[in-house]
Amino acid sequence: MTTLDIQVLLPTRAEGVRHGFGHLREVVRAAELGTLSGAVVPFDPDGLESWSVAAAALRDTRWLRVAAEFHPGVSTPVYAAKVAASLQRFSGARFAWRLAVDLDPAVARAHGDFTVGDDRYLRAAEFLQIARGVWGGGKASGPGGVKGEFTFEGKFFDVLDGGFAAPLSLVPFPQVQLTGASPAALDLSARHGDVHIFAPPTLAAAAQLTELATAHGRTVQLGVQLSVLLREDAAELADAPFRDEVDFAGTYAEAADLLRAYAAQGVSTVVFDARPRIEETYRVGEHLRPLLENPVLEGV
Amino acid sequence: MSIDIYWRVGTHGDQPSLRRRTQSRGGFVDVPVPGQLAPGLRDGVPDGYSYADHVADVVRASEAAGFVGGLLPSFPGTDDPWALAASLAQQSRTYRFMVAYQPGFLHPVQAARLTASLQAATGGRIVYNVISGGGGPAQLWWGDKVSHDDRYARTSEFLDVLKGVWAGDFSYEGRFYRVEGAGLPKDLAGQPFPEIYFSGSSPAAIEAAGRHADYYLSWLEPFDALAAKFAQVRTDAAALGRTPRFAVRLDVLARPTEEQAWDEIRRGFENLGPEALRAFEGGGDSVGAARSRGFTGDPSKGYRGLEVAPNVWGGFHLLRGGPVFGLVGSYHQVAQRLDELIGLGVDAFILAGVPHLEEAHRIGENVLPLLARDHDITIP
C-alpha cells in the first residue's frame, strides 16, 4: 500500500510540568526519529504562537514537514508569505500552512478579527490568492526587488506591483492545509487547498469535496485528525488512562486496520493527537508505523 | 546606564569584502558564483545548508566578540527577521535579537503573541526595531496603502494596542485597530516587554518616537546634524514627559592603521563602474535616505571626496546595499569617533561591517576594548 503521511499535533501549552520550547523539541525529535512525516502546530489562543513554534521545530529536524496553523487576520498575506519564504529557505521547503478560518467569535474578536460568516472564507481565499500571487509574481526589480508584476484589489487585501525576487521566489510555496465540513470550507479547499483535514475524522463530506475540486480542475488530498490511545494488547489498553476521551483507542494492529480503512477511502494524511506526546509519538513511530508498509525486516 | 553595542546581521546575504559587490553568502545571487556559501555546492549539488546556518554562525561570533546582540533588518528582498530570530533562538545564549518590522504588516495581537513566545524561547532577548517604512513603491509592494504621515499615527496606535494586549484584558476601538477582550495566555503572561528602537527622520516620526521609543535610532550622519536631530527628539519627548535614549546605526571599517583602512575603501571604489556611482537614486519617500544623500560629498572627486569629516565616510552605500555613512580609520580613530558620539548623547550602537562574521571578531577584539577603557560597555 501507499505510505500514509503520518503527522502529530505539537504541544503549545504546558502539559503538567512539561512546557515550552524544551518540551517541543523532544516531541519533534520523537517524530523525526520515528520517521513520521510531519507535525502540526495548532492555532491555540491559550498557547504559544504557531509561527515561532514551527520555526524552532524546523530548526530541530531535517525531514519533518511542520505546519503552522494561524488565522488570516494575523498579517497581510504578503508578510505571511515573506515569513514563509524564509522558513522554506531555512528548512529545505518543509514548512506548511494550516489556515484557521472558522474561529470561535469571541476568540476572533480577542485577536482583533471582527469578520464573520462566509466573509471569513472569502478573506481566506484572498489571503491565499495574494500569497501565491506575490510568490510567483516574480521578476521583482529595482532597489531591493521592490517592483513586481502582481496586483490584486480585493475586498480585504490589496497589493500593487508585488512579487518576490530570487531567491525568495525560488522555494516552493508552502503546502496549504485546510479544515472544516461546511459548504464554504469545502469550497475554499476545492479552490485553494492542497490537503483537507477532517476533524472530527468523518469522511461524509469527502466525496463532495473531491467533486468540487474536480470541477475546478484541481486535486485536494484527504486527511483526518484524531485523538488516539494505542497499546500493544487489549489488557494493556484496559489499564491505560483517558481511554474514553479519545476518538480511537485500540491496539497497534487495530489502529493499522483503521488507517488502512481510511486509506481505502482515499485518505493520505493522518494527524494524531496523542498524549503524553513524547512517549506516544515514540509508540506511533516504533509500533504503528512499521505495520503500515512492507516491514524491511520481515522474515529476518 | 551602560552602553549597549549591537552588531548588525546581513539579512540580504553577505559579501566576502567591500572590494567587490559580489554576494557570495546566502544564495542571494542570480547565478551561482565560485565560493558561494550557505547553500554551498558539493560536486555541483547544493549541500543542504541554508543562510540560517551562516547567520547562526554570525550570531555566535557576535556573542563571542562581546556584542549584546544584533539588528536583523527587513526589506523586500531580505529574509524575514522574525523567521530568523525564531529559527536561531535556541542556538544562542546571550544574543538579543533586534527584530526590524513594520507595524502595518502584522496585527498587534499577533505581534504580541509572537513576541511573547520568542521571549519565552529566549529568556527575554527580543528587542524591537520599529520602522514605519521607506514608503514609495516598497510600501505598495507590501500591500500597504497607508500614507506617510498616517503610517506614524498607525504605528502609535499599533504600539498602544500591543502594550494593552501585553498587559491583558484589553479592549480598544481606534482608527486602525479594534480588539475585544484581548490578552496573552497564562503561560506567556508576565514576560518582559521588549525595548523599542524607533527609527524615522520626518517630523511625524519624531513625534511618534517621542511617545514610544526607548531608544531613538538614527543612521549615522555628520555629527552636528545628528546632534541637532537628537535635540529635536529630546524636546518633543520632554513635552510628553519622556526621556528617550539615543542609538546610532553605522558601518565601521577599522584596520591597524588608517592607511590600511582607506586602502580597503580605495580598492572597493576602484572596482565600481560608472553605473554604480550613479546608484542610490531611489529610496521611496524615506526622509532619512534623502537626508543622508544630502549630507554626503561628490563621488566624482574620488573616494576621499566622500569623507565629510575626519573618518566619517559617506560612500558605504556604493560598496554594499544599505545606509550611506560609516567610520573609516585605525582602531584607535574609530574608537575615538565612537567616543565622540557617546559624548553627543549616544547610549547604544548598532555597528556593522562586511563580511559580518569576520568583522564582528575584528571589531570585538580591537575596537571594543579601546572603548571599554573609558566607558561602561554592557557585557553580554
Average pLDDT over residues A205-212: 97
- Asked if B225 has any chain A CB less than 8 Å from its own CB, the reply is no
Q: Which of B45, B57, B110, B141 to mutate to test the interface with A (most CBs of A within 10 A)?
A: B141
Cα angle for residues A10, A14, A15 (degrees, 5° grid): 80
Compare CB distances from A158 to B26, B145, B321 and report the shortest one's residue.
B145
Q: Which three cell numbers stand for residue B12?
A: 540580504
Asked if the Cβ–Cβ distance from B79 to A86 is below 8 Å, we say yes
What residues in A contact B30, CB-CB < 8 Å? 166
Q: Which three cell numbers stand for residue B307?
A: 569623507
- Would you place residue A297 in the very low, low, confident or very high pLDDT band (cuts 50, 70, 90)? very low
Asked if the Cβ–Cβ distance from A90 to B52 is below 8 Å, we say yes
What residues in A contact B12, CB-CB < 8 Å? 144
Asked if the Cβ–Cβ distance from A49 to B28 is below 8 Å, we say no
Average pLDDT over residues A105-128: 97
Q: State how far residue A208 is from chain B, nearest Cα, in angstroms.
A: 34
What residues in A contact B136, CB-CB < 8 Å? 146
Asked if the Cβ–Cβ distance from B187 to A13 is below 8 Å, we say yes
- Residue B285 CB-density burial (10 A; 0-12 exposed, 13-18 middle, 19+ buried): middle
Comparing alpha-carbon positions, the chain B residue that sits nearest to A159 is B143
Residues A119-144: pLDDT tens digits?
Answer: 999 999 999 999 999 998 666 555 55
Asked if the Cβ–Cβ distance from A14 to B117 is below 8 Å, we say no
- What mean pLDDT, rounded, does chain A reach? 93
Comparing alpha-carbon positions, the chain A residue that sits nearest to B176 is A112
pLDDT at residue A300 above 60? no
What residues in B contact A47, CB-CB < 8 Å? 185, 187
Are B293 and B280 a contacting pair, CB within 8 Å?
Answer: yes
Comparing alpha-carbon positions, the chain B residue that sits nearest to A157 is B143
Q: State how far residue B115 is from chain A, nearest Cα, in angstroms.
A: 9
- Asked if B142 has any chain A CB less than 8 Å from its own CB, the reply is yes
Using CA atoms, how far apart are residues A230 and A225, in angstroms rounded to an integer?
15
Q: State how far residue A116 is from chain B, nearest Cα, in angstroms.
A: 14
Comparing alpha-carbon positions, the chain A residue that sits nearest to B282 is A143
Q: State how far residue B33 is from chain A, nearest Cα, in angstroms.
A: 14
What residues in B contact A148, CB-CB < 8 Å? 141
Asked if the Cβ–Cβ distance from B80 to A82 is below 8 Å, we say yes
Using CA atoms, how far apart are residues B289 and A71, in angstroms rounded to an integer?
36
What residues in A contact B114, CB-CB < 8 Å? 49, 51-52
- Would you place residue A294 in the very low, low, confident or very high pLDDT band (cuts 50, 70, 90)? low
Angle between helices A50-59 and B81-88 (to 10 degrees): 60
Q: Which three cell numbers stand for residue B62?
A: 557576535
Q: What percent of chain A has pLDDT over 90?
A: 87
Asked if the Cβ–Cβ distance from B120 to A21 is below 8 Å, we say yes
What residues in B contact A111, CB-CB < 8 Å? 107, 109-110, 179, 182
Asked if the Cβ–Cβ distance from A48 to B120 is below 8 Å, we say yes
Asked if the Cβ–Cβ distance from A59 to B52 is below 8 Å, we say yes
Q: Which three cell numbers stand for residue B173?
A: 476601538
| Coil, strand or helix at A71 | coil
| Alpha-helical regions (H) of chain A | 20-33, 50-59, 77-91, 105-110, 119-137, 183-192, 206-215, 234-239, 252-264, 277-283
- Would you place residue A296 in the very low, low, confident or very high pLDDT band (cuts 50, 70, 90)? very low
Distances (CA, A) of A84 to A94, B170, B234, B262: 10, 30, 39, 41
Parallel, antiparallel, or unpaired for β B126-130 and B96-101? Answer: parallel
Compare CB distances from B77 to A109, A145, A161 and report the shortest one's residue.
A145
Q: State how far residue B315 is from chain A, nearest Cα, in angstroms.
A: 17
Are A137 and A111 a contacting pair, CB within 8 Å?
Answer: no
Q: State how far residue B339 is from chain A, nearest Cα, in angstroms.
A: 33
Asked if the Cβ–Cβ distance from B179 to A111 is below 8 Å, we say yes
Query: Tens digit of pLDDT per residue, chain B (380 long)?
Result: 899 999 999 999 999 999 998 889 999 887 777 889 999 989 889 999 999 999 999 999 999 999 999 999 998 889 999 999 999 999 999 999 999 999 889 999 999 999 999 999 999 999 999 987 665 567 888 888 787 778 889 999 999 999 999 999 999 999 999 999 999 999 899 999 999 999 877 777 777 777 888 999 999 999 999 999 999 889 888 888 888 899 999 999 999 999 999 999 999 999 998 777 765 444 455 677 778 878 888 878 889 999 999 999 999 999 998 889 999 999 999 999 999 999 999 999 999 999 999 999 999 999 999 999 999 999 88
Distances (CA, A) of B306 to A231, A295, B277, B315, B334: 74, 70, 12, 6, 17
- Asked if B228 has any chain A CB less than 8 Å from its own CB, the reply is no
Residue whose C-alpha is closest to residue B79's, from B57, B53, B51, B117 = B51
- Asked if B162 has any chain A CB less than 8 Å from its own CB, the reply is no
Task: Tell me the residues of chain B between 185 and 224 that have a Cβ less than 8 Å away from chain A.
Answer: 185-188
For B167, the enclosing helix (H) or strand (E) is helix B148-167
Mention every residue, 6+ apart, whose C-beta is less than 8 A from residue B139.
B133, B145, B146, B151, B284
Q: Residue B134 has what pLDDT?
A: 61
What residues in A contact B84, CB-CB < 8 Å? 86, 90
Q: Which three cell numbers stand for residue B285?
A: 519617500
Comparing alpha-carbon positions, the chain A residue that sits nearest to B49 is A90
